[in-house]
Each structure stands twice: as structure tokens, then as C-alpha cells.
Chains A and B, each alone.
Chain A
Amino acid sequence: MKFAWFPGCVSRGACRELYASVKAVAPILGLELTEMTEAACTGAGVISEHSPGVADALNARTFAMAQKMGLPVMNNCSTCMGVMAGVQARLGGDGTALGRVNGVLKAEALEYKPPVRVTNFLWVLVEDVGLEKLKSLVKRPLRGVRLGPFYGCYILRPEANLGFGEKPERGKYLEQVIAACGGDPVDYEGKDKCCGFPILTMNRKNSLSMAGDHLLEARGNGAHGLVTPCPLCHLNLDAQQPDAAKVKGQRIDLPILHLPQLVGLALGLEPKDLGLGKHIVSTRPLLDRAGVGG
């Protein structure tokens, strides 16, 4: 299972523990990752808002590079996934947009020839590694740990761009992976809603209130922590959690795991190799519950 790995900006910036944990679990899962060091940011939806043409070309450039490597693209971010899927859809039309984009890419001897397979760490776990294989690799089942899934909008919507027609279970993968790792998935309404990150600088109160609502609902339903495949959701749910707690007027203290951190724990890796000390909300209570020392 070889992939052109697109780590994205946030996992190389504010969430470096995500980068480290993907790297740590990949060899155990049998994933051979070649990091795309020359690929640019997807634009996170902000560039396409400013200029769809630029976003299309930046991502087509990434796709063309992967095609040159002969590999499918794997990202580890709901936002990257959504943006890339959107560009795939836009460049799949009558060929006019594709022609313009390839005209620009010519200068660096690249050409994007659709289709390209773009996937992400969550989908790879279920569709490539497989849940049975994952279960067989688990060394430290997280028995008795109740975890709420938090997907992030762009890995779920719009379904038409994200292959839900062929793979309708994609909206349940997180629960399946939590269970495969030995944990108990906790159901709550906020699991597929917005974390509020996109409006953090524009409407801070609404943004923090969104994060706070979901965190409190999950905790109320018995969650010991949340798991997310999206580093931007992680920023709003973890780094902003103390402020979300202030907006909601109550303590929250709910640890948030990046998806590969959960997998790494179940595979028996050490918390420090997974950057579990680099969170704002301490992961210690959750680790204790899972019987992880260190």
C-alpha cells in the first residue's frame, strides 16, 4: 500500500503531533508513504473563495505530481480532503477548466490527467488496511475507553463529491475504527457538525460556542475523549477548549485525539512518540483509563 503523502500545512505547523503520529503508525499498518515536500497548500477553501482558478491549479499541480510518482494521494485532514475532492469535481467537467489549468502547469512539465485517486488516512484505514487487519494488529485494546467521533464537515459534505454513492459507510468509519481499536464509540448529535474553526477570527463567540456545545454534549453522553481526523477541528476543540469552556460557563476537560494517535495507542506505541504531551487539554486521564503508563 503505497501513497503519495500530503501532510498539509497544519500538521507541519500547529499540530506537529499529527505529522509525527502518521509517520509512526504508517510502517506498522503496512503503509509506504512518500512525502510530497513540493506540493503547496490546498487553499483550505479560502483560496477557492478568493479565486477558484488558483485553487484548482494548485491542487491539480499536486495531483499531477502524484501521477508522476504513479501513486494515489493520501492526506490526513478533513479540510484537505474536502478541498481536493471539490477540485476533482470541478476539473472533471467538459475539459475547459482542465485545459486552462494544464496550460499553466506546462511550465513545470506537469499535466493532470483525471482521474486521480485522492484519499485520506481514515478512509485508508478502512478501505485499504481493512478493519480486520487493524484489529489483528492491535496490541493494546482501549477497553472501557469511551470515545466520541468528530468528523469535520469537509470529509462528510457534500456527499456527491466524496464518493458516498459507492461507499455509503464513509460516515461511520470513525465509529468502526474506534471499535476496532477496542474502544467504545459514543454517539452524540454534534459528531458530524461544524467545530466552528472557520469563523474563529470573524465571530469568536459563535465559533467557541459551537465547539463548546459539541464537547459538552459528547461528555454528557459519557465520552472520555473525542477522536478527529481533522487538525483544524483539533485546534478549535483542543487549543480553544479553555475559551470555549468560558463561553459556556463550565469546565469541559475533554481530551481530543488525532485519529492516528488513537491508532498508535492501540498499536502499542508510546504516548511521547505520538506527541500526546503536546495537547492543550491533558490526555493523561484518558491514557490512565486506557492503562497506558509513561
Chain B
Amino acid sequence: MKATLIVRRYDPESGKPPYDQTYTVAVGESEVVLDALIKIREEQDGSLALRCSCRSAICGSCAMNMNGHPGLACKTKVAALSPHGEPVQVGPGGNLPVIKDLVVDMGPFWSKVRQVTPWLRPGAPPPANEEYRVPNERMLDLSGMMACIMCGACVMACTVLEAEQGQGGKPDEGFLGPAALAKALRFVGDPRDGTSRERLEALMGGGGIWDCTHCFECVQRCPKGVAPMDRILELRRRAVDAGFTDHNGVRHAQAFVDSIRKHGQLDENYLARKSVTFGELFQMMPVALRMLLAGKMPPMFPHNLPGDSREDVKRIFEAMEEEKPA
């Protein structure tokens, strides 16, 4: 079939702003976007810059935007993006500086991964004449994070990084982002590591685990099933369990949980009061006033479930709350 690719081009040396260039190329049913791009480069336009190596979804070098979302060009079929022959939009991944055309600077990506100290800091020397032994089960969960090929697709998709850079933030500052935080759990969760507490404490600050907005972009875009957001939520649980609770995020979660435990339903007033500090509450007053004037304030007495149901909800909390996920 003939495929139409609209490629976002950019050459900083030309002094011209980014522009779109349309190519038409013959592709087979099972061919991927990378195949089409390589054909274009070899047969039509040698100036098209792209990065690739393994062509088998292993090296992680070909992540880019396709129809607006990042993924591996060597793993994404043209036919899947263009079932009825629609043009396919191809561009560089977001949240990282563009070097040329489809090639982005991975420097900020690596600098954030480095910030989580991605190596083992053993708690004790290995047993004499032996190596460290780790039970299989404990490594099984970690293997999910070790599957990361550092392609950056999750970082390119992250909505918090986008918001920060939209406000002028630099790509190597601010939120650590999905890949680095997934890597952080890989070491926090390693039974041989002796510095889990320090690692968790470091992640409590600005740019850490509480800055994630829970948007599922990284989970959806990761080509390797790493599910970075789920790892971030696990880090939050572990941080709270380790006693790091002095954060709005923790207060918000606690207030929410308390409200459901007591009423079975959410009490939005209670949530607002408990989850912010006094200064922030003051900041929120105009919003509260606005909502009150529009007749939008939640009822002062929260909507309660009927008495029996409240008992049922309490029972569920008592029975299930202590269970830790496997």
C-alpha cells in the first residue's frame, strides 16, 4: 500500500522554524514506521535525520511521536496508524530538546535517571565466599522495572513535564519524570540495597513522587510494560509506610481515605480542609467564595450512605486495609 507520512522537520543550523514535509512511500502490510522512514531516507531524501539501531524494540533509540503520541517507530505498524490510508503524522518526541528532525537530545533524560542514583548501594558486604542471594519472588517484581530499555517514550508523553516546560522550565530540571522514578523503585525495592530510606526521603521533595498527576500517559505509551505510574504510586506507599508523611500529597490521601472510611462517600469540604496547610487554605478562599456564590459548595453535611452501608464500608476497611499488595 501507499502510505503518506507528514514529517515534522527541523534543522537548527538553517535558521528556519520547524515545518512539515509530506512523503509518499510504498509499505507492506506488516511494515513499521521505521521501515517507511528508512525507505524515505534511502530513496527520496538523504537529509532526513532519525535515530535507530536494533530495529527490534530492544535498543530504545527510535522513540518518536506518531500521530501525536510517542512510541517506538520500529514497533508501530503503519497500517495500525492508518487503517484507511490516512496520512500519518511523525515528529520528534516531546519534552526533550530537538537536535534535528526526529532526533532529540537524550541528555536531560539521562541526567534525571542519574539523579535517582541508579546503582546498588549494598547494606552489607556479601556473605564470605559467596555472592548475594536474593529470593526469586523478590526479584520477580523488580524485573518489571528492569525491562525498561530507556527509550524515553514515557518522558516524551509526560503531562507534568509538558506543563513545567510550558512555564519555561528546563528539560533537566523539575519533575524527575516516569523513567527515572521507575528506576528509583527498582533500587528502593532491591533487598540488597541498604539505602531505601535515604532514597525515599530524597523523593519526597519538589520534583519527586508527589508531583505526578496520575494521567496514565506513561503507562499507555511504554513499549515494555514498565508501567512507571504504578511504580510511582508504589513509591508513595512505601514512603508513607517508612514514616515520611509531611507532605500535602500524604495529607490529601489520608483525608480522602478517612472520608470514605467514615461516610462511604467523599466529603469535599473535609478534603480541602485537611489536605492543605493554612496558607494554602487562605489561597483557596477565593475559589471557595466563587463556588459558594455559584451555588456550588458541597453540602455542609456530607452525603452519607445509609447506616447499614456505612457499616459495610467500615468492615471492608478493617478486613482489607492491612493487606499489602503482593
Contact = CB atoms under 8 A, between A and B. Distances in A.
Contact of A157 (B216, B272, B317): B216
A233 to B, nearest CB: 11
B210 interface: yes
A286 interface: no
B215 A193 contact: yes
B320 A41 contact: no
Contacts of A207: 213
B237 A193 contact: no
Nearest to B164: A206
A41 B214 contact: no
A43 B253 CA distance: 10
Interface stretch (B6-14, B120-128, B180-188, B275-283): B275-283
Max chain B Cβ within 10 angstroms of own Cβ: one of A46, A58, A198: A46
Max chain A Cβ within 10 angstroms of own Cβ: one of B257, B275, B320: B320
A38 B306 contact: yes
A157 B309 CA distance: 31
B236 A107 contact: no
B294 A51 contact: no
B297 A14 contact: yes
A47 B217 contact: no
B118 interface: no
Q: Which size class do A's interface residues fall under?
A: 35 or more
Given A56-B320, A278-B296, A280-B294, A196 B213 contact: yes
Interface in B227-251: 233, 236-237, 247-249
B264 interface: yes
A280 B159 CA distance: 25
Interface stretch (A124-132, A174-182, A237-245, A259-267): A237-245
A280 to B, nearest CB: 5
A116 B248 CA distance: 36
Given A13-B298, A201-B276, A278-B296, A206 B163 contact: yes
Contacts of B309: 38-40
A38 B305 contact: yes
B160 interface: yes
B268 A13 contact: yes
A46 B256 contact: yes
Interface string A193-207: 110101101111111
A194 B159 CA distance: 7
B303 interface: yes
A198 B236 CA distance: 14
A68 interface: no
A95 interface: no
Nearest to A241: B290
A72 interface: no
A100 B319 CA distance: 9
B190 interface: no
Interface string A149-163: 000011011110000
A109 to B, nearest CB: 11
Nearest to B297: A14
A104 B316 contact: yes
A256 interface: no
A201 B271 CA distance: 10
A114 interface: no
A12 interface: yes
A37 interface: yes
B319 A210 contact: no
B163 A196 contact: yes
Interface string A101-128: 1011001100000000000000000000
A202 B265 contact: no
Given A47-B256, A58-B316, A209 B268 contact: no
Interface in B59-76: 68
A52 interface: yes
B211 A203 contact: yes
A277 B303 CA distance: 22
A213 interface: yes
A90 to B, nearest CB: 10
Please provide the 8 A-B residue pairs with the shortest distance between their CB atoms, ordered closest to farther: A53-B320, A157-B216, A9-B266, A194-B215, A13-B298, A40-B264, A53-B323, A194-B159
Given A14-B291, A209-B167, A239-B290, 5 more contacts: A44-B256, A53-B320, A198-B213, A198-B214, A202-B210
Interface of B: 68, 159-160, 162-164, 166-167, 210-217, 219-220, 233, 236-237, 247-249, 252-253, 256-257, 260, 264-268, 272, 275-276, 280, 283, 286-287, 290-291, 294-299, 302-303, 305-306, 308-309, 312-313, 315-317, 319-321, 323, 325
8 contacts: A41-B260, A44-B266, A53-B320, A54-B316, A58-B260, A157-B216, A201-B272, A280-B290
Interface of A: 9-10, 12-16, 37-41, 43-54, 56-58, 61, 82, 100-101, 103-104, 107-108, 153-154, 156-159, 189, 193-194, 196, 198-199, 201-207, 209-210, 213, 239-240, 242-243, 277-280
